């Protein structure tokens, strides 16, 4: 099975997945793959159904997680995820330094993270690969920064 999560559930490539639709389609697939449906089948069919169910469950969890969904959207577009965590974008570098200063000052970065997600979605829908990958870097950086803040405050 090589469908991306969006294709598997018949959804448009977007980080804003309609949750009710996703849940309904997930439940429908899982109902069809329930072991009771394969009680009279041979072990190959049972094992195949288990594998498809595991793949479906994984795809469902990807679309439920904003960061994993961002990765899946890039891959579904046929774009390549950045492999290194460095950037030469001077504007993004300046923003990153500002975000780090804000984090040290304990300012709330969540609105910036939400804005980065919106910008990513816009570039994704406009099919602007270079801008989408820059927005991706911003999203990932802010997510890591928010994660490190949460880790130190708990």
pLDDT tens sequence across 56-65:
999 999 999 9
Q: Is the pLDDT of residue 10 over 50?
A: yes
CA dist 15 → 36, 59, 101, 135 (Å): 34, 13, 28, 13
Q: Which residue has the tokens 């049972």?
A: 46
For residue 36, pLDDT beyond 90: no
Give the C-alpha separation, 124 to 106, whole Å: 31
Domain range annotation of the chain:
5-76, 90-153
pLDDT > 80? residue 84: no
CB 74 within 8 A of CB 133: yes
Q: Does the structure show a pLDDT above 60 at 152?
A: no
Give the per-residue pLDDT at 44: 92
pLDDT at 154 over 50: no
Please state, in angstroms and rounded to a whole number, the distance separating the CA atoms of residues 75 and 95. Answer: 26
Nearest to 125 by CA among 36, 48, 15: 15
Average pLDDT value for residue range 91-115: 92
pLDDT at 1: 55
The whole-number pLDDT of residue 93 equals 86
Q: Pick 5-76's CATH classification: 3.40.50.720, 2.60.40.10, 1.10.287.110, 3.20.20.80.
A: 1.10.287.110
Tokens representing 84 are: 């290194």
pTM for the complete prediction? Answer: 0.84
For 18, 44, 57, 145, the CA distances from 61, given in Å and listed in that order, are 14, 26, 6, 23
């Amino acid at each position: 099975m090589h469908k991306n999560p969006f294709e598997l559930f018949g959804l448009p490539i977007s980080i804003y997945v309609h949750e009710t639709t996703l849940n309904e389609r997930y439940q429908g697939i899982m109902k069809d793959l329930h072991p009771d449906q394969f009680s009279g089948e041979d072990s190959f069919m049972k094992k195949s159904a288990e594998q498809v169910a595991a793949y479906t469950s994984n795809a469902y969890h990807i679309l439920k997680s904003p960061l994993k969904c961002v990765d899946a959207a890039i891959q579904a577009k046929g774009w390549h995820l950045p492999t290194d965590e460095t950037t030469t974008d001077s504007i993004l570098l300046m923003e990153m330094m500002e975000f780090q200063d804000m984090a040290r000052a304990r300012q709330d970065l969540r609105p910036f993270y939400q804005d980065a997600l919106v910008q990513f979605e816009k570039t994704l829908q406009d099919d602007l690969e270079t801008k989408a990958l820059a927005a991706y870097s911003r999203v990932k950086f802010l997510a890591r920064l928010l994660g490190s803040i949460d880790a130190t405050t708990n």
